[in-house]
Amino acid sequence: MIKMIATDMNKTFLDSNNSFDKSRFNSLMEKIKQQNIKFVVASGGGFSKLSELFGENSKYLDFVTQNGAVIYQNNQILNVDDIKQSDLEKTLQLIKNNFSNDIRGIIISGIKNNYVDQSIDDKSFNLLTSYYNNIVKVNNIYDINQVKIDDKIIKIGVTFNQSINNNVKIQAMREMLPEKLSSLNSGFNTELIGNEKNDKKYGIECLLDFYNINSDELVVFGDNENDLGMLEMTKNSYAMKNGIDEVKKVSNYVTKYDNNESGVLETIEDILG
């Protein structure tokens, strides 16, 4: 019996226009609520933009945001794990000293706001607004301080330039991170850096414990590296048709349709009957 459904967003639930079939989802949500199934949005993004996408339905959903760093239940924070200021400073300095010529930009996510450098160009800033709300420009992104901005920092997003050497550079950055931090790729040449234990798997485990649901009662959808942990949690794991090969290898199923064909909604409809 299925009691929880968790899905990644970008390139999984959302199409290439960062949208989804809302009418179809609204109809499906009625069935989900009738069957007392928990629907979890699991994403590297922040709560504000994610909840906005779902409108009125957001109050019926749970959110694993920032790759597991912040978990929301009934629109209230259930758990948060912010980055220590010392680790934040070390990470920003190693990026500045070693990779500043290799990256397009940095966005630092807090509970309240998302922060970018004031030098960001209009095109890049407008693109970020498709994925983040509450974007604030700061004088120097490398000198950001949690006390001064009165916010808890939970993720550092580093977007690399398109390059054949990206994998080498990303691996080098990962090896240089402070001991308690780790990085996962979220697509679009972007690495999301946060506390080591924080991933979507950790966030979903917290919700499973909260609702007293076991992993065999969980269905999961994903397409990219930062979905691997949660896909390995359950036998009911679905890689997207458009997902990377590594995701397909760890999943028990592959969706018949891709993200531009409402692959998640199609599969849920088949599962629920």
Q: What are the structural domains, with CATH classification, of the chain?
A: 4-80+198-272 (3.40.50.1000), 85-195 (3.30.1240.10)
pLDDT on residue 162: 87
pLDDT on residue 150: 96
pLDDT on residue 186: 82
pLDDT on residue 155: 95
Model confidence pLDDT, tens digit, residues 60-75: 999 999 989 999 998 8
pLDDT on residue 194: 94
Burial of 225 (0-12, 13-18, 19+ CB in 10 A): middle
DSSP secondary structure letters along the chain: ---EEEE-IIIIIS-TTS---HHHHHHHHHHHHHTT-EEEEE-SS-HHHHHHHHGGGGGGEEEEEGGGTEEEETTEEEEE-PPPHHHHHHHHHHHHHHHTTTEEEEEEEESS-EEEETT--HHHHHHHTTT-SSEEEES-GGG--HHHHT--EEEEEEEEPS-TTHHHHHHHHHHHS-TTEEEEE-STTEEEEEETT-SHHHHHHHHHHHHT--GGGEEEEE-SGGGHHHHTT-SEEEE-TTS-HHHHHH-SEE-SS-GGGTHHHHHHHHHH-
pLDDT on residue 222: 98
pLDDT on residue 52: 94
pLDDT on residue 223: 97
pLDDT on residue 109: 96
pLDDT on residue 172: 95
pLDDT on residue 273: 84
Residues of the chain with pLDDT under 70: none
